[in-house]
Structure 1
Amino acid sequence: MAGGRCQRPGCDGSYEDAGGGERCCGVCGRPPVVSADGLLSSPATGITGRAGSGAPGSGAAGSGRRAGAAAEATRGMPSPAAPVSVHGTGGGAAFGSSGSSGSARGRLGAGLVTVPQVPRPDPHTAVLEHPEVPERKRFCSRGDCGAPVGRRRGGQPGPTEGFCTKCGHPYSFVPKLRPGDMVHGQYEVVGCLAHGGLGWIYLAVDHAVADRWVVLKGLLDTGDEEALAVAVSERRFLAEIEHANIVRIYNFVEHLDPTTGSLDGYIVMEYVGGKSLKDLANDRRTPQGRRDPLPVEQACAYGIEALEALGELHRRHLLYCDFKVDNAIQQHDQLKLIDMGAVRRMDDHESPIYGTIGYQAPEIAELGPSVASDLYTVARTLAVLTFDFQGYTNVFADSLPDPEHIEVFRTYESFYRLLVRATDPDRSRRFASAEEMAEQLTGVLREVVALQSGEPRPAPSQLFGPELRVVDTQLVPADGGGSLLGARGGDPKGATASPGAITLRPLDPAAAALALPVPRVDPADPNAGFLAGLTTVAPAELLPALRAAPLDSLELRLRELRAHLEAGDAPGAQALLREIETEPGTGWGGDWRVVWNHGLVALARGEHESAALSFDAVYDAFPGELAPKLALAVAAELLGQPDTAAEYYRLVWAMDHGWVGAAFGLARVCLAAGDRPGAVAALEAVPEASVHHTPARIAAVRARLRQRTPHDPLLGDLAAAAREVTRLAECGLDAGRREQLATEVLGGALDWVLSGSHGARTDGGRASPELPSLLGSPLDERGLRFGLERSYRLLARLAQRGEERIELVERANRFRPRTWV
């Protein structure tokens, strides 16, 4: 198909038929990056010049930065001056760097997802039968030229060797080695595998080392000093790298070309059989023949392994520079980087910079490569793999599409936020290290797998401690009473609750703020040890102890701020926060822990919109963490946005059943929305190992019964509530709470029977045939009254105060049915 503007920046040409079904630009001669049928086709690696006006494009963090529920939670609020930065926090993987070794996990998926294995094929099958470079891929290798060469003219095939008509630089696309050639007296050539950015790649057998398969990577053409310099650099430092996710460099050898008499250089590398990410992506097709994007969990698994490899290079003060779908191969259950041609030292400011349009960070031309630009390429690769990223080399060369138009972004907001941060136009706001990005990507992967499987995928956080406490475990109604169906407070003639959602007592913002997880203390802080020794200090003594510290530090200030909140002194916490935010390197765009505490103070002071904005910024910075999502859920609940709150509570609860506050929060918003089954399901999912298991089960019993209308089909909930009360008693529930629950169940059943509700049998006062008894009492008026009398008399015997005992006896007497004795 002809037509269409050229995708290459700076080219005004359009695509024309080039024969054989190929399309090329009539001006620059280059093919499209994405073909009409959706095949990925990365442009040839090129050299980025130093000159230029800087980074073009609108950036990844433009409109649509927040997706899904976060947009609702922060709608109408002012944007901060800058997103949260984690630079300068120091000390361990949780704070931007890691001292971990270069060992890899050895299998894809981080133990969370099974990635289909790719068997290693017979190496002979990878050899090209007729090795040649298509004319559309022939360009001058001189860095400042790049003009098309070797093209067809006058109906005649283009020459495979010659001189560039633009700059006069020689070119050659003819393989220098033939099958059977012996290189360095050791490596027997089998044939050509491919033609890369720096020349032909050959398969060979190493007869000196157990006839192992190796790869010989040649220079682009003889006499190319720039390519020779790159090869020499690879020989000098890449041979020292041994990592499971990086191709092994064995040797660097020279071979005399008998035809030209030139001495050609070759890098000897490990042979990695398998499929590149490009081939894996292109092999997936829809029934209509278009490319079917990789599952997001599989792409995340590849990203984690790629970051392992890049992290090892960064620890050696090297930059990869050109990560993309072409440069990583899966073999069995392992991913390897295979092209080391663009690797450079971090302090190298002279060598040519190699990169690929659509993957390379926008600031490269002006600022050069960095750790942040390497991480940028990983994020762009994840985007290319997970959705049909049309225009990623032109329209979206430096940005991401609006999440409204991308299904994977709408479905997995955390994945979208991770890509946004990793591709931020300001590289200082990207992830600080490959380890940090891998940690957050692993958290995103856990979230994706948990949502897909319905099974929690918990993991300890390196940034936040555990949930401190759970607020509102009683799910107290707004009127403060039991609010059961009609039998409120034990009154058999109590009023029936109004139909619809259950109105609960509003959540206490200050208590909710203090219940949220606390950021872990930075071990590099000078007061880290001092603060660790204050964990057992009484709250009343904490502030004086903190003020007696020998040194001032950020962690000390933050602990003092929290002490004010714990003492109920929100104004004091606010004043201290203002002092902290005026110091260099803190506040918006500074230390993320300050932003988190800004949210806590705002929450405690009732400034819920400001709190939501702070927590949303932390979520932007750490999309794989649960704490910001729980905090956003609390803020949304207080803002009166139940749908948003339910989404975040459900997300946290799906990930980790240890965060019980999410279960109670989800139950609250479900009850407020009239979703009684959803509330009960969340509460009954609290694991038995949790200290909140019994309160959750008690709350589930009450959730089944509160504010039921006379026409509700209550029979099933009555039976389930009675079974739960019996089970709790068998599991050790004390007699007082057991009988209190019994009165609530029996009282609700009595109102249900007296009201003639759906399913109740009131004719002649006989018991319901569907459920003849409830907690040992017949399910009719007389039986339920006797049951209530029995429970209230037992509660009276257990009462500690005389007034309470008298009240309970009077209730028992009121419920007792009339008898002759």
Structure 2
Amino acid sequence: MPLCNHPDCGRGEIDEQGFCDACDRQPLARDDADAAVPVPEPAQGAGVGVAHVRPDPWYGLGLVDSDPGPDAPDLPPPSADPVPEEHRFCAAPYCGEPVGRGRDGEPGRTKGFCASCGTSFDFGRPQGLTIAGRYAVERVLGSGAYGTAYLAHDRNLATHVVLKSLNRSVARTALHERDVLVGLRHDSIVRMLGFEDEGPHLVLEYVPGTPLTAGDDDRLETLLAHGVRILQALDYLHARGLLHCDVKPLNIMRFREQSPAGAVDRVRLIDFGAVRRERDEGPIVAYTRAYAPPEGDPEHRRPTPGFDLHCLGMTLREVCRARWTDRSAPGVDSLHLLLERATDTERPWRRFVSARQFAEQLSGVIRQIVAAPPTHLQVARPSALFGSMPESLHGGLGAARPLAHWVEAQLGEDAALIMHAPFASPEPGDAATALPAPLSDPDAPDMADWTRRALAESRSALHRRAPDHAERALAAAGLEEWHWLHAWYSGLIALAREDAGSAAAAFTTVRRAVPGELIPQLALGLCAELQRDLATARSHYGAVFDTTPALGAAGFGLARVHLLSGERTKAVDTAERLAQEFRYEREAQAAAVRLSVMTLDGPAHPIPTHDDLERAEARLRSLDVDQAAEAALRAEIRYAHFLHHRDRERLSDAIRELGPHAPTEREYVALVDLANRLRPPLRWRWAGPRRRSGHWRFGGTPSTLSS
């Protein structure tokens, strides 16, 4: 690996994130290194991690098996109601006058002739009408503020299409919608097929489906995958400077599409009657109030892509309402936090600013959901926001009990040993340096260089265990206090000060901002464990470990919490699952041996069973460790045997075997002394006084001999 070239460093190695593992700085450029500056400042751009290319934010789609989709009739049933009067206009292209209107409180005719030109109309039974000489109208699909939608048969193409009849008052809008749709080509956007001056009418692709709703058999991840598809469509629109402005369930058509692999469930965004360009001046006038940001929101004064993203957040709330009542279910709490951010009206600055940002977190939520039964799909992938975390933070579980524990052990009642705790929660300072630094935020690429340098200095100070310096550097970064980056560094600083409560509050802010990420949940698990809130720690550790065992710190944390809760079997099972990860294989195997036999004080922690002891012996025989570690693990197993059988001799032998691995003579003598004191006491058989040859003789033989 390349070496650090900072003069004051000592030649540490550069890790996979581009930082020195000794001084935690990026290497100097060649010119700066040659100048040998005594105390260089952190390199520019180092503040929040290495240069990073954002992963595919749509990856959640690959985690969901495509269902065939809901059954939908080839043709929808005819509308029971006639076309509303306000949408009745003469179909003649040279006329377009209002027809069929009521007078004096009486409803207008649904069938008749235009008073201006004599053209016939029928708004009660549109069947039989032909538009532009090629579109045979079959039924009314619906009516809205911009006109009426008809299902028609295109005689030229021999297929069904949708004719969107637009009255003259929105002719300009119709032309705008035509101009927008004609250039769009996306699988999740309805296709524009043509435009007819008669009416005028837009000719659109007919999607034989139903508005997006949750069916009885729909899984939560299936519905959320449709959300990702709509985000793809919005990203496509926003990249072209367009805003849909009316995203809602009725404007998302769900349908079954045939593919070479069979029928698949798909969605398309329809009804572009409210579409506008982002650069257009003036407030939004066409939207659906139930899904749009409230009036007075900044999005109404100067609309941005955030308007559509809020609408989609409200849409997902509506669609998933029956699937997210149990917040303890995998991923459901994260979904709540995601949609709370997407639709936050009190703090609009917290909402998502791009479809990709929204999709990244939504894909992360899907990842958490599919990791649970019955799918059990676990995916290890790099985060878009955080670097890797190779440290296991096993707290002593992943290695044999330290020799010092045996050297310092004291003999208690009935020869039980008084020893140090067999493991411990990670030290807060160790956790602060092990948790990864954020990478460059892909949604804030224009972060100032001085901000990056200040964050780099804060990170470096944390590694030097200087939290006060880290806090001053964070203040110099100039980040808003509500920003998740500020909250993340605040949490690390609080951990470095051993203030787990304040750290948990800061990490909660991060989790609310990026609920699809796993690292904030891991940090919250560590804080809860340090506060001895075992239930909360188990919830966070479990969510992370079930989603990806590759984050070994979550697996070791979950094993610790299970054992502290008196659930030895679950603790061992967790270690064995973690042992399937190559990076943590040996540590996790050692943990499985130790968890099977270690004892904790208190009635909630019974001694290991005979089955536990047998499994530990079997695991030890297959474990590839050095002789010192094997001897220490065997001594721990022998001590568990002793608690069952009180076989002091075998325990004494096991401790004596630790002696050759003692680094000093003093420790060797202490181990031998402990082994001798554990030997069974000498018991003499009393033979009584006997007189022989005029002399008294007292005799006997020892029943046991000490070695």
Using the size of structure 2 for normalisation, the TM-score is 0.75
DSSP 3-state at the match of 1:733: coil
DSSP 3-state at the match of 2:286: strand
Letter in 1 for 2:78: L
DSSP 3-state at the match of 1:355: coil
Partner of 1:251: 194
Task: Within 5 Å, give how 1:476-491 maps onto structure 2.
Answer: none
The runs of 5 or more residues in structure 1 that have no matched partner are 1-88, 142-148, 163-171, 256-263, 285-291, 390-405, 529-550, 755-780
DSSP 3-state at the match of 1:596: helix
Letter in 1 for 2:371: A
Partner of 2:617: 722
Deviation at 1:343, TM superposition (A): 1.2
DSSP 3-state at the match of 1:128: coil
Deviation at 1:617, TM superposition (A): 1.0
Cα distance in 2, alignment partners of residues 502 and 140 from structure 1: 83
Partner of 2:649: 785
Are 1:658 and 2:550 matched, yes or no? yes
Q: Are 2:84 and 2:143, in contact at CA under 8 Å, matched by a contact in 1?
A: no
Partner of 1:52: none
Are 1:376 and 2:376 matched, yes or no? no
Partner of 1:111: 63
Deviation at 1:572, TM superposition (A): 1.8
Give per-residue Cα distances to partners, 1:179-230, cap 9 Å, x unaligned: 4555445444444333344222223344444x343221111x4xx32x2121
DSSP 3-state at the match of 1:685: helix
Cα distance in 1, alignment partners of residues 283 and 487 from structure 2: 40
Q: Are 1:684 and 1:697, in contact at CA under 8 Å, matched by a contact in 2?
A: yes
Cα distance in 2, alignment partners of residues 509 and 93 from structure 1: 28
Are 1:567 and 2:514 matched, yes or no? no
Cα distance in 1, alignment partners of residues 253 and 123 from structure 2: 24
Letter in 1 for 2:465: G
Using the size of structure 1 for normalisation, the TM-score is 0.65
The runs of 5 or more residues in structure 2 that have no matched partner are 1-47, 90-99, 113-119, 257-264, 681-703
Deviation at 1:525, TM superposition (A): 9.2
Are 1:695 and 2:615 matched, yes or no? no
Are 1:427 and 2:348 matched, yes or no? yes
Partner of 1:330: 254
Deviation at 1:238, TM superposition (A): 1.7
Cα distance in 1, alignment partners of residues 318 and 202 from structure 2: 30
Deviation at 1:564, TM superposition (A): 1.4
Are 1:467 and 2:386 matched, yes or no? no
Letter in 1 for 2:440: V
Cα distance in 2, alignment partners of residues 99 and 629 from structure 1: 22
Bigger radius of gyration among the two: 2
Give per-residue Cα distances to partners, 1:387-406, cap 9 Å, x unaligned: 269xxxxxxxxxxxxxxxx7
Give per-residue Cα distances to partners, 1:672-713, cap 9 Å, x unaligned: 333323322222220433332222222232223222679746
Partner of 1:266: 201
Partner of 2:163: 216
Partner of 1:613: 505
Cα distance in 2, alignment partners of residues 523 and 462 from structure 1: 8
Q: Which of 312, 324, 334 matches 1:414?
A: 334
Q: Which has the higher contact order (CA 8 A, sep 6+)?
A: 1
Distance 1:424 1:150, change over 3 A: farther
Letter in 2 for 1:112: V
Partner of 1:673: 565
Are 1:275 and 2:210 matched, yes or no? yes
Cα distance in 2, alignment partners of residues 370 and 738 from structure 1: 64
Partner of 2:15: none
Distance 1:554 1:215, change over 3 A: same
Give per-residue Cα distances to partners, 1:356-411, cap 9 Å, x unaligned: 1311111467525331121111111111122269xxxxxxxxxxxxxxxx724464
Give per-residue Cα distances to partners, 1:579-607, cap 9 Å, x unaligned: 22xx3xx13134x3232111111110123
Task: Within 5 Å, give how 1:186-585 maps onto structure 2.
Answer: 186-209=134-157, 211-219=158-166, 221=167, 224-225=168-169, 227-255=170-198, 264-277=199-212, 280-281=213-214, 284=216, 295-332=219-256, 333-350=265-282, 353-363=285-295, 366-367=300-301, 369-387=303-321, 407-409=325-327, 411=329, 412-425=332-345, 426-453=347-374, 454-475=376-397, 494-495=415-416, 504-522=423-441, 552-580=449-477, 583=478
Give per-residue Cα distances to partners, 1:392-448, cap 9 Å, x unaligned: xxxxxxxxxxxxxx7244642111111111111133220111111011011111112
Partner of 1:623: 515
Partner of 2:76: 126
DSSP 3-state at the match of 1:691: helix
DSSP 3-state at the match of 2:582: coil
Distance 1:489 1:248, change over 3 A: farther
Task: Within 5 Å, give how 1:760-779 maps onto structure 2.
Answer: none
Distance 1:350 1:523, change over 3 A: closer
DSSP 3-state at the match of 1:244: coil
Cα distance in 2, alignment partners of residues 483 and 802 from structure 1: 16
The number of residue pairs the alignment matches comes to 601
Q: Are 1:92 and 1:99, in contact at CA under 8 Å, matched by a contact in 2?
A: no
Deviation at 1:739, TM superposition (A): 2.2
Letter in 2 for 1:588: E
Cα distance in 2, alignment partners of residues 182 and 656 from structure 1: 59
Partner of 2:116: none
Q: Which of 519, 529, 532 matches 1:640?
A: 532
Distance 1:523 1:335, change over 3 A: closer
Deviation at 1:175, TM superposition (A): 3.8
Partner of 1:599: 491
Deviation at 1:796, TM superposition (A): 4.4
Distance 1:804 1:382, change over 3 A: same
Q: Are 2:411 and 2:418, in contact at CA under 8 Å, matched by a contact in 1?
A: no
Q: Are 1:245 and 1:337, in contact at CA under 8 Å, matched by a contact in 2?
A: yes
Q: Are 1:476 and 1:505, in contact at CA under 8 Å, matched by a contact in 2?
A: no
DSSP 3-state at the match of 2:200: strand
Q: Are 2:380 and 2:548, in contact at CA under 8 Å, matched by a contact in 1?
A: yes
Deviation at 1:352, TM superposition (A): 6.0
Deviation at 1:623, TM superposition (A): 0.7
